[in-house]
Structure 1
Amino acid sequence: MHMSRMQYILRLSRLLGVAFLAPATVAHASCEPKLAPPVVAFSAPVPETNYHYDKNVNMIQQMMQERGHIFAKLNNQWTLGVTFAQPIYQLDGKLQTEKGEDGYCTRLEWVQVTFGYQDMQVYIGSDFKPGTCAFRVVYDHENEHVAINTYTLEEFAEPVRAKMQDLANAETYVRTAVPPTLDAMLLPYKRALDRAVAEFRQVQASRNGAIDTPGNYARTQAMCTDWNQSGTWTQSGPVIQAPVRPQNSGLPAGTLPGLQSPDAVLRAPSAPTPRR
């Protein structure tokens, strides 16, 4: 099983695609009055996982191709189940600006940070009927990925919240010749969030990859003998066209997106006894 490319959503309200420029002139601690630090509203959402049982192996493979996931057809392996974890990282805020005789005094009134998941979807091939050994093995494996995605987020959420609060506690007014933009004032928070996201994705991908190994496939394959429940699998496996790299995929040639993604794919070799 390898892992498919994770979609990275970074919605910085009024920030995305904008150059982050520091205020022209800044004199920290030069504006009065000194008020309380900005309020940090932090959330780490984990939505309820949605399970789907209406797509067979061929349809899951096609769905992945349509979503732009890129994988190699190696050793006649096929996708038996997949977990899609779509993250959401958001940053927003509000400025308070006062005009003085010699410029503007500006501070952040509040900062809102979202670090979590927008969506979690699990697909299990309809080739495997509920109550059967093969269904249970596929189901349990995908739930391992759900658990990894969930507890890894929980592990990172509190340090991210604490870092955002530390930045807020250090905030003060800044004095500038022209009012600074929200993106400029939020830049330290964005940089900290970017670093946290990069580390989070690396750990998440590593943990998911640890259960997507040939050795684990072999062990789980041996647990069941009812893989070919649909009766349509031959010695050459399900009839599926290997996906091709889509145009403008964003990945260089030879990239294995599974090394970077929490999305988990359950793979099987040629039938009649596929492995995961």
Structure 2
Amino acid sequence: MCGHCLADGCDSLAPPAVKLELHDEPISLDTRTSYKTLTLLGPPQARGGQQVLGLTRGTATVRFETRVSSYVDPSGRWECASPQLTVRYGFSPMTVYVAREFPPGSCAYREIHEHEMRHVRAYQAHLKAIEKTLADALQARFAGTGPWRGPRGETNARLQAELQERWVPFVKREINKVDAAQALIDTPEEYARVAASCGGEIRRLTR
């Protein structure tokens, strides 16, 4: 009889749901760091004698906001719960560096800044590209299984533990796959093109 009551109560809950949102914040610009420091901070492929004149760095971030509606059976011992999840993911912070040797307004600054904006666009495109992968995985786990059932008062703790232990790392791994796209931008040919631009201005300033 109690199980029947619990089933009836569970049926009254809204179905579990997942919503994804992109984290959006202004891009930071740093023009205080020397190219020698940027070279040390840059990707490994840039350290084979290449000078890093600009750099774009984004830190993967994900936050789960949860709202759980629940029904407790008449005995007070069991509950069923329907999690409503909002997943915000993206990069925070995202910082574009242009080495301090190249003052704003100069030809060199414009060339380096435009190169870094290609990286920014690659970050942004990647976030949109992985949206379906994230949505499919999260929907299958949380929205396709019906309400959660268990002892009263334990559902939220189980949910939070699973989000932190399994799903935060999963989303961050998907975000960090952007590194492959970024490496395609930083080719030896592109480094050489930027270094040779502006009539030799960049080479003169980095001797």
Q: Deviations over 1:18-65 (max 9, x none)?
A: xxxxxxxxx9xx622212213434321132212222333245457x4x
Aligned to 1:31: 7
1:78 is displaced (CA, Å) by 3.2
Question: Alpha carbons of 1:147 and 1:136: their partners in 2 closer, same or farther (altered >3 Å)?
Answer: same
Partner residue, 1:198: 173
Task: Name the one with the larger helix percent.
Answer: 2
Q: CA deviation at 1:167?
A: 4.0
**TM-score, length-normalised on structure 2?**
0.75
Residue among 104, 112, 119 paired with 2:93: 119
Secondary structure at the aligned position of 2:185 is classed as coil
Alignment of 1:47-62 (within 5 A): 47-58=25-36, 60=38
The runs of 5 or more residues in structure 1 that have no matched partner are 1-26, 234-270, 272-276
Does the residue aligned with 1:164 lie in a helix, a strand or coil? helix
**Aligned runs of 1:177-216 on 2, under 5 Å?**
177=151, 179-185=153-159, 187=162, 191=166, 194-202=169-177, 204-216=178-190
* Aligned residue number for residue 60 of structure 2: 87
SS at match of 1:161: helix
Residue 191 (structure 2) aligned to one of 184, 197, 217: 217
Mapped pair 1:154 → 2:132: no
Separation in structure 2 between the aligned mates of residue 141 and residue 73 of structure 1, nearest angstrom: 15
Deviation at 1:208, TM superposition (A): 0.2
State the aligned residue count.
199
CA–CA distance in structure 2, aligned partners of residues 41 and 91 of structure 1:
10
Summarize deviations over 1:75-129 as a string: whole Å, max 9, x none.
5433321111122112242332514438312213422211212221111012113
Partner SS, residue 78 of structure 2: strand
CA distance in 2, matches of 1:152, 1:73: 22
State the secondary structure of the residue aligned to 2:128. Answer: helix
The equivalences for 1:1-276 within 5 A come to 31-33=7-9, 34=11, 35-58=13-36, 60=38, 64=41, 74-95=47-68, 96-101=70-75, 103-177=77-151, 179-185=153-159, 187=162, 191=166, 194-202=169-177, 204-224=178-198, 225-228=200-203, 230=205, 233=206, 271=207
> Identity of aligned pairs, percent?
20
- AA at the equivalent of 2:201: D
Structure of higher RCO (CA pairs closer than 8 Å, 6+ residues apart) = 1
Q: What TM-score results when the alignment is normalised by the length of structure 1?
A: 0.59
Question: What's the Cα RMSD here?
Answer: 3.4
| Change beyond 3 A, Cα 1:73–1:110 | closer
Structure 1 distance, partners of 2:23, 2:93, is 9
Q: Distance in 2 between matches of 1:180 and 1:141?
A: 51
